[in-house]
């Protein structure tokens, strides 16, 4: 069954999430470097808080904060309001499995931004950090656009070390299974289709 909404989403979602990843990583980097500018972290160190505890606190914040946007994003595809009732763009897949993919993808972008800040010691370099994020994210988007049916399972799995590649290939698997009215469920998410499985993408994002 041809689902126009699903087809459009499958084609556009990876592109949209390139911009999402760029934005999320830039915001995280800006927040951390701004704290350096305000000399908050030196004050914390004086009170006995080391960098490890600080970074763990940042990660916990990211894990909690991004639950809401990920949940809202998935809800759009499962419960899109229509004129008379809800339009289910994704109607055969497990909600929680799809949510895991969206959530881990956003968190991966945030962790990337947090990791990148370790390269910068001076707070005034926030502009350079954001510029590097833009370049890296667009470069990964270019790599992702080169993936086609000729790539082996091993090659696709290795490329999935890049979060946007893992997300994009998992979306392709989702669209493929939804198109045959099977969807991604606990029974099908480990099945390999076109040299890739949905579980591989989720696993690599972890």
- Phi and psi, residue 87, nearest 5°: -100, 115
pLDDT of residue 16: 65
Contacts 24+ apart (CB under 8 A), 181-187: 181/1, 181/92, 182/92, 183/90, 183/91, 183/92, 183/93, 183/94, 184/93, 184/94, 184/97, 184/98, 185/92, 185/93, 185/94, 185/97, 186/94, 186/97
pLDDT of residue 87: 65
Dihedral sign of CA atoms 73, 77, 80, 82 in order: positive
pLDDT of residue 193: 81
Task: Assess whether pLDDT exceeds 90 at residue 53.
Answer: no
Is the pTM value of this prediction over 0.75? yes
The band of 4, judged by pLDDT with boundaries at 50, 70 and 90, is low
* pLDDT > 90 in the chain, percent: 8
Task: Assess whether pLDDT exceeds 60 at residue 37.
Answer: no
Higher pLDDT, 22 or 83: 22
């Amino acid at each position: 069954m041809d689902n126009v909404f699903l087809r459009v989403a499958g084609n556009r979602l990876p592109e949209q999430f390139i911009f999402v990843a760029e934005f999320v990583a830039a915001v995280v980097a800006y927040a951390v470097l701004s704290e350096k500018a305000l000399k908050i972290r030196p004050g914390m160190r004086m009170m006995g808080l080391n960098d490890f505890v600080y970074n763990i606190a940042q990660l916990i914040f990211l894990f909690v904060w991004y639950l809401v946007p990920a949940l809202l994003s998935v809800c759009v595809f499962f419960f899109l309001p229509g004129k008379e009732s809800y339009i289910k763009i994704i109607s055969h897949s497990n909600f929680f499995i799809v949510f895991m993919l969206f959530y881990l993808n956003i968190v991966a972008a945030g962790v990337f931004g947090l990791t990148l800040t370790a390269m910068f010691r001076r707070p005034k370099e926030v502009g350079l950090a954001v510029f590097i994020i833009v370049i890296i994210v667009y470069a990964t988007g270019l790599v992702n656009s080169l993936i086609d049916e000729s790539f082996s399972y091993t090659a696709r799995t290795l490329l999935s070390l890049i979060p946007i590649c893992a997300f994009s290939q998992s979306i392709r698997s989702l669209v493929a299974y939804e198109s045959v009215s099977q969807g991604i469920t606990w029974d099908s998410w480990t099945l390999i289709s076109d040299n890739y499985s949905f579980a591989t993408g989720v696993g690599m994002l972890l």
